[in-house]
């Protein structure tokens, strides 16, 4: 009997709300992070084969970390404050 009362509340509680639709934000975040990861990987491979400058690899990795953090923070804020 108590489980029946808790189930509807749990279902309502698990629904994500946000200023922008959370599912859309997660899809866009996934696409951005995946694109950044692929670009960083390609740049690292080019640096290994000495087609690019080694400083570019450090900058690419730093940019990749910034992009990940920005999209993660935006997704978190959208879901919690929305």
**Distance set, CA 24 to CA 11, 34, 36, 65 (Å):** 20, 15, 18, 22
Any residues with CB less than 8 A from the CB of 76 and at least 6 apart, and which?
Answer: none
Distance of CA 42 to the CA centre of its chain: 20
Q: Which two tokens stand for residue 82?
A: 């929305």
10-residue mean pLDDT profile of the chain (82 residues): values are: 56 70 93 93 89 86 93 92 76
What pLDDT does residue 52 have? Answer: 83
CB atoms within 10 A of CB 25: 21
Q: What pLDDT, on a 0 to 100 scale, did the predictor assign at position 12?
A: 52
């Amino acid at each position: 009997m108590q489980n029946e009362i808790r189930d509807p509340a749990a279902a309502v509680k698990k629904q994500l709300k946000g200023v922008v639709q959370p599912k859309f934000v997660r899809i866009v975040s996934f696409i951005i992070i995946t694109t950044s990861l692929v670009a960083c990987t390609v740049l690292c491979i080019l640096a290994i084969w000495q087609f690019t400058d080694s400083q570019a690899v450090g900058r690419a990795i730093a940019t990749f970390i910034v992009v990940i953090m920005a999209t993660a923070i935006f997704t978190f804020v959208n879901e919690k404050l929305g």
